[in-house]
Amino acid sequence: MKIGLAYDLKQSVIAGPDAPADALEEYDSAETVSLISAAIEGSGHTPILLGGGKQFLLSVLREPIDFVFNIAEGRGAYRSREAQVPSVLEMLGIPYTGADPQTLSIALDKPLTKQIVQAAGVTTPGWRFFDAPGQARSADWHGFRFPAFVKPAFEGSSKGIRLTSLATNPAEVADHAEALFKNYGSPVIAEEFIDGDEVTCGIIGNIGAAAPPLVMPMRIVPRQKAGPFIYSLEVKRDYKNLVDYEYPARLPAEVIDRIKSQALAVFGTLGCRDFTRMDFRVAADGTPYFLEVNPLPGLSLDSDLFIIATAMGWSHAMMIRSILTAAISRYPGLR
């Protein structure tokens, strides 16, 4: 097949002069695109580079494409930006990897995601949502357990998440929220901080497929043991020096089972497909708390999903082929 590759490169997106330092964090590198393209070719298909934004629109209308491997994050600050490429592909009748526009739009909206998965019985920390700069100063904090973790409500790739994102009281939440509004122009969510193990769980495959999906919880262990651990952007950028990745996660079997069960519940409830990654914190009593889900996770050599794949003995090409196989199998007649 001719398989198009949709992506947004960091160097092709222009950040404004007042944009925060992590404005382009979610976009990909040429190296990642090259690796995925090589894996597609190694699977016996012809890769076609489609790019992103307007370039993607021109390319997908010009090139005869059978299928698209989508890693495009979309353009702008819209909470539905990740749905841009899949929406165009559905309009044109072109099959593709990954979640559909609805799932991608929901998942980038953290409060909406929490409401949906809570209704499905998934445990998540208490939270408050603020969609105006001064709102946090008059919020009702009854029943909320501090400290709070304060972050943008409509962002991904750890944008706006720092080692300083913890707030110990309502006034600190308000200060953090106002700074985030100023820097990101986005609503803010304050979430009860769960002091415990950080676990990220990758899923490759699909519920109901011939083979069950791979559900892969990995524990992230800080090397610095003092104080609460925050898996922040600073940590992710220097992960080789600051954390150890533990896969399989050395946690009690019953905790692992609960994480996997909760992960599959989130995956199925939101309609995730092919490849997904989600984050949990495990409290001292062994309860896993769902934090957020990324149905369009990074696939770079430094991504959490590839770190898990490496621990399984996979190459990058094997990871890409497994995602591609899962996606193609959803479309009868494709091969």
Q: Tell me the C-alpha distance between 149 and 167, whole Å.
A: 6
Encode pLDDT of 136-176 as tens digits. 999 999 999 999 999 988 877 567 677 778 999 999 999 99
pLDDT bin (cut points 50, 70, 90) of residue 78 is confident
275 close to 305: Cβ distance less than 8 angstroms:
yes
pLDDT bin (cut points 50, 70, 90) of residue 331 is very high
Encode pLDDT of 211-235 as tens digits. 999 999 999 999 988 778 888 777 8
Q: Hunting for tokens 């010009």 — which residue is that? A: 62
The model's pTM: 0.93
Q: What is the per-residue pLDDT for 19?
A: 65
pLDDT surpassing 70 at residue 188: yes
Task: Give percent of the chain above pLDDT 70.
Answer: 95
Q: What is the per-residue pLDDT for 158?
A: 61
Encode pLDDT of 300-330 as tens digits. 999 999 999 999 999 999 999 999 999 999 9
Encode pLDDT of 233-279 as tens digits. 778 788 888 999 999 999 999 999 999 999 999 999 999 999 999 99
Q: What is the per-residue pLDDT for 77?
A: 74
Structural domains of the chain, with CATH? 2-97 (3.40.50.20), 126-192 (3.30.1490), 194-330 (3.30.470.20)
CA atoms within 13 A on the CB side of 1: 19
Average pLDDT, the chain: 92
Q: What is the per-residue pLDDT for 226?
A: 76
Tokens of 320: 């890409």
Encode pLDDT of 13-58 as tens digits. 766 666 666 656 678 899 999 999 999 999 999 999 999 999 999 9
Tokens of 213: 């999906």
Q: CA dist 187 to 14, 133, 262, 272, Å?
A: 22, 8, 27, 24
Angle between helices 30-42 and 316-328 (to 10 degrees): 60
Burial of 21 (0-12, 13-18, 19+ CB in 10 A): exposed
Q: Tell me the C-alpha distance between 222 and 239, whole Å.
A: 9
Residue 201 backbone phi and psi in degrees, to 5: -120, 115
Q: Tell me the C-alpha distance between 66 and 121, whole Å.
A: 39
The CA-CA-CA angle for residues 153, 74, 44, to 5°, reads 125
Q: State mean pLDDT over 76-103.
A: 95
Q: Tell me the C-alpha distance between 309 and 304, whole Å.
A: 9
